[in-house]
Structure 1
Amino acid sequence: MSATPNQTPVAHPEDRAEMTTPQKPKAYQVDHGEGLGKRFVVVFAVSGASARREVASMLDLTRNEVGGCRRAPEFDKFAPGPVPVGVLTARA
């Protein structure tokens, strides 16, 4: 927090984010690979950006190697994971 004389301390934006109620992770489908090697991973995260970062880290990929990312609300009920293999294969 920062404050100047005679002022009330103000929380830094990053500090305020930590003070809020934690968001429940949601399911995201993140694509990776190209052509016949194109695949997807379902991860649980609080945002699409964090889902893409998690997949890149998990699979040792760069941000450019991770493809599209979209919400997959049909998998939210499996949070925090994993999604059963039978459910995933039915989707593919």
Structure 2
Amino acid sequence: MPDLDGVFAANEVMAAGATEALQRAGRRVPDDVAVAGFDDSTATTSVVPAITTMRRHFDLICKAAVELLTERINGAEPRHLTIPTELVIRGSTTPPPD
């Protein structure tokens, strides 16, 4: 097992798999290796410990997608838009020391 102290997975299914693989290899999550995912799916709470995640707000994403598409259909130039995410800290990561 490589010497690492953290895993950031593209989604919670991958983070759950990483957590299980680390635990089978004798690594403790989060004591030895912190694990985090992206999307905040239901898999975040079914794994022990629950997985820290970056939550996306799909309602904002959908609204923005429709607005941008409508703008393009009406002849506007393409533009970039950043939709905020939210860090949800759970048991798979340890807060940094004070």
- TM-score, with structure 1 as normaliser: 0.21
From the two aligned structures, give the one with the greater strand fraction.
Answer: 1
From the two aligned structures, give the one with the greater helix fraction.
Answer: 1
- TM-score, with structure 2 as normaliser: 0.21
